[in-house]
Structure 1
Amino acid sequence: MDNILKTAQELGVMIATSDTFLRFQKAEEAHNSDAEALALVEEYNVFRESLMQKIRSEQPDEQAMNDFRNQLQEKFQEVQKNAIIAEYVESKKGFDELNEQVMNLIASTTSGGCDSGSCSSCSGCH
């Protein structure tokens, strides 16, 4: 078991020093220290919450739901015009994808999904 934990720690270090994580960390620091970015995100969250309250109180039909989705998407696109937010979102997406690939690979390997002799048949790595 100690070997497993040691290997997990090594994996954690590899992830923490990866370009993907370092990019995300830098973007997160920039995002968290930029007043304009924080204000835009807060504005978006308030807008989203107000739409959610409307949905809960009005029980809208499908057309109204589509309108709400479109309004929220437009607001998100507006927020993402801020370069700091755009970089944060993009780098977080990359880091989340890396984490998902690692977790899928572990799950696939532990459930017998990968051939121990060759990973060419395993979708978790590719």
Structure 2
Amino acid sequence: MASLAAVSEMVVIKTDGTQTTPMRQPQAESYLVNVLNEAGMGNRLANLKQSLNQAFNGQGKPTGSYQFRGKPVLHASSGNGQQSVTLFFYADGSKLMLFAMGEHVSSTQYRISIYGQQGDPNFAKGKVISI
């Protein structure tokens, strides 16, 4: 599957399944900076910004056969080791639907460490996926 064209808005699906209103990149960045700070991961802001740039510019990469809500999952990632940020999202028309954030475990594995979806078999907080 090819990645999407550049988009102008992102919706964040919160851990409880509720959603934010659509946000342009600066608003999404501000929202997700707060998520990182609340998780004690404020040292990852540069990598968050780079991951958001990739996502908004249509440079999300496929995650193999993973799906969320019946849609193919894309990811955008920046950094390595303890300071990486990986965004997991799917396309819904002209919007990105962000539903999980994590970090690299290895070059092919990612831990959903920042936030995920309660009860999801692949994207709940603490899960590790292989791509």
Q: Which TM bucket (shorter chain)? A: under 0.3
Q: Which one has the bigger strand percentage?
A: 2
Which structure exhibits the higher relative contact order, with contacts defined as CA atoms closer than 8 Å and separated by 6 or more residues?
Answer: 1
TM-score normalized by the length of structure 2: 0.22
TM-score normalized by the length of structure 1: 0.23
